Amino acid sequence: MKAFITGVDGQDGSFLAEFLLDKGYEVCGLIRKGVNPSLNIEHLKDKVKMYYGDMATENQLCVAVNQLKPDEIYNLAGQSDVATSFDIPEYTGDVTGLGVTRLLEAIRVFSPNSKLYQASSSEMFGNANPPQSETTPFRARSPYGAAKIYAHNMAVCYREAYNLFACCGILFNHESERRGLNFVTRKITNAVARIYLKKQDTLELGNLDARRDWGYAPDYVRAMWLMLQQGEPDDYVVGTGKSHTVKEFVEAAFSYVGLKWEDHVKINPKFVRPSDVNYLLAAPNKVGRHLGWEPEVGFEVLVQKMVDYDIKQESA
């Protein structure tokens, strides 16, 4: 089996590459031209064949898909930072939204038998009433969420119009030690590590009341793979079915190292988004029933894993 992963050097891409290699796949990945691969895949550089390209350029996608004709394609590329999408909405729409149309066209023309996993997002739900399932209306509150809705709908369109095997995984927040420092969870755990090691004293955050359904990224890449092993393509909500506030994440991280978060956290209005999603909570009944998937790592262990990693990194 041959798999092609766009965004292979990101959090999800690197875990997925490891997962597929363990299953005996030949794994190829797409990395943006002119960008050095992240440390996430440094240990895989001799095991994964790299293609340099961009979701903004159809020709590069066509060349890769035509040369590889992979059994499975996992589209994990895109501008994935919600806060940043307010600063660069046009770029976010081009890469995260239109980029999927470019990939779908490459598959339709050059490799119509390839199975596609499209990374959809819980941010598409916006402030729709929780819990959110596959039938919940989309109400995006960010350029990122809006771009993901377009991409999701195009994947469904190509599935129905051209009979492509295209699955959309509507993944709720999933974190890990490989999460970028621009994401709030990693910002928190990194700051906790530095405060614990007395390298800094305060952590500035925005909205502590936002609620998210947080899971562990390696559990979620297993769900991606399971979707493409089914007889028919479909869309699935993937999450834990449990929600926590940003404040609860902060409390868990600080208490793990014996500190009181109130002594170190300050609210800074500059970190509050123009519009935010208040409450995301997955209803993962379908993915459990149809794919037999359930998360293995809970919220507390997730937070502890991330704090332990950052303490180790900051102590080096």
Whole-angstrom Cα distance, residue 192 to residue 263?
12
Q: Which of 18, 123, 175, 177 is catalytic?
A: 123
> Of 82, 33, 28, which Cα lies nearest the Cα of 54?
33
Q: What are phi and psi of 275, to 5 degrees?
A: -145, 140
The conformation of residue 275, written as its DSSP 8-state character, comes to: S
The answer to whether the beta carbons of residues 205 and 178 sit under 8 Å apart is no
The two structure tokens encoding residue 116 = 């596609």
Three-state secondary-structure class, residue 273: coil
Q: Which of 51, 74, 144, 279 is catalytic?
A: 144
Three-state secondary-structure class, residue 34: coil
Q: What are phi and psi of 74, to 5 degrees?
A: -115, 110
Three-state secondary-structure class, residue 139: coil
Whole-angstrom Cα distance, residue 66 to residue 110?
5
* Residues 94, 96, 102, 104, CA torsion sign: negative
The verdict on whether 121 is a catalytic residue reads: yes
The two structure tokens encoding residue 238 = 């993937």
> Of 40, 14, 26, which Cα lies nearest the Cα of 72?
26
Length of the chain in terms of residues written: 316
The two structure tokens encoding residue 195 = 């405060």
Three-state secondary-structure class, residue 38: coil
Whole-angstrom Cα distance, residue 118 to residue 71?
15
The two structure tokens encoding residue 305 = 């894993």
Q: Which of 14, 85, 111, 121 is catalytic?
A: 121
The verdict on whether 144 is a catalytic residue reads: yes
Active site residues: 121, 123, 144
